[in-house]
Structure 1
């Protein structure tokens, strides 16, 4: 019997890095998670489950086979060294961008989006952000750390500036975060996604980074997150 190696890449990723237009990579880090760890295992868990996902979407009338995608696997990150890990994520994203490809990152806790967004911003200074999340992530610091899963979007704002962050589904955070957002810094839609289609249309001619925290879904739908929020 001929033995064959099981391919653990995302199901639709059949291209090499050199061939690909879109490069998927996962970031096994949950070092600042404050409630329930485990998101560092998400990349390979999603890879396994992707086997059961159809490539064709009847909603979008698009097929994943239309895209040239490569999966380069998990980044090799030092355990417990948050700042070093963030630097590695930033450099990996920068390399993908420098090679003329679009990065698609799978976390990991939400802090791992910070170095990716920073690298994309360095290439596209007019970057806008669409952020789907249950939480504001707009604190100045959290448990003594400036960079945390609960603060990263506040620090993204420091380089993208006012009016370029669009948040949807927000339903948890401290009052100062909501007050700060409402003062003109962030466009926030609480509780739902109303207006998302209009924002997508508005931003169609500018560079956009989309970041999704799966706790934006109700725990009855998706309970397995670090900080589930009803």
Structure 2
């Protein structure tokens, strides 16, 4: 099994047979790098998110490369899909180290990372590396149904239920913006209201209200697919009724077009429960929108 630099170098050179649509053929000539992180060892309900990166790539060919939302085409973006990292099954600590190493190399090469999860814990090592580069200037935008602010879940700190709390250990809490949150403990909601820029239940309107505040700063986006109502995105591990509609997410990315977005991840798609593939297609379309505004 390959770890660290050796594995990332292998992925750069490998001619991946199932890349995301529109991917270039060369890592060095690309500005945006897509990396799959097929880890779902910390899920609290239904596993299966490890299969998402491959499925999202597969269904990406069902949508167009052109986005009418932002009037751009993927042919205008120099991005390269390196494929999936090889992660040791069940070993959370080693997997997080590998993900962090991959993020480090992408950033050191002067490129912007887009990670496909996987469960939401994959965000932690990526944001940690992005913070190493940008420091306290970094702003984290979190779109999710769940607060993910627990100090631990069932005695485990490395949990998808704790990922934003983990990020707040190094990133100033007032640099974190949460949108669409509609599930969590009373303690999580209280802590978020006192420490974060907390906008529960709604996505688009509060985002528009803070766009000008965000413009001077580097921005990282983490999007859990369950921010969208399960009526439109049932293929996820912990569905939570009461979410937004897909068009709100597309309009949100349109609103973020002028921001200095330095990276992103999309997590918690679960193809095992996505019987018609619509959640994976939605994820592919969101990724397209993200790449077109970075």
Per-residue Cα deviation, 1:161-206 (whole angstroms, up to 9, x for no partner):
13111000000000001111111x1111111112212323321221
1:105 and 2:124 are equivalent in the alignment: no
The answer to whether residue 26 in structure 2 is matched with residue 11 in structure 1 is no
User: Would you say 1:122 and 2:136 are equivalent positions?
Assistant: no
SS of equivalent to 2:170: helix
Q: Which residue of 1 aligns with 2:214?
A: 203
Q: Say whether the 8 Å CA contact 2:16–2:83 is kept in structure 1.
A: no
Alignment match, 1:66 = 76
- TM-score, structure 2 normalization: 0.75
Query: Residue by residue, what CA displacement relative to the aligned partner does 1:121-163 show, whole Å, maximum 9, x if unpaired?
Result: 0001021100000000000000111121000101101111131
Partner of 2:95: 85
Instruction: Count matched residues.
Output: 225
Cα displacement string for residues 81-118 of structure 1 (whole angstroms, at most 9, x for unaligned residues): 10000000001000000001000001000000000000
> Which sections of structure 2, spanning at least 5 residues, go unmatched?
1-14, 242-294
Q: Is residue 193 of structure 2 the alignment partner of residue 165 of structure 1? A: no
Structure 1 residue ranges without an equivalent (≥5): none
8 Å CA contact 2:35–2:81 kept in 1: the answer is: yes
* Partner residue of 1:24 out of 34, 58, 66: 34
TM-score (norm 1): 0.95
What RMSD in Å do the two structures reach over aligned CA positions? 1.2
Tell me which of 91, 94, 99 is aligned to 2:104: 94
1 or 2, which has the higher helix percentage? Answer: 2
Which residue is equivalent to 1:35?
A: 45
187-196 vs 102-111, which deviates more? 187-196
Distance 1:110 1:182, change over 3 A: same
1:154 aligns with 2:165: yes
Secondary structure at 2:29 match in 1 = coil
2:261 is matched with none
Contact 1:15 1:68 in 2 (8 A): no
CA distance in 1, matches of 2:34, 2:209: 27
CA contact (8 A) 2:179 2:198 kept: yes
Q: Are 1:216 and 2:227 counterparts?
A: yes
Distance in 1 between residues matched to 2:178 and 2:199, nearest whole Å: 6
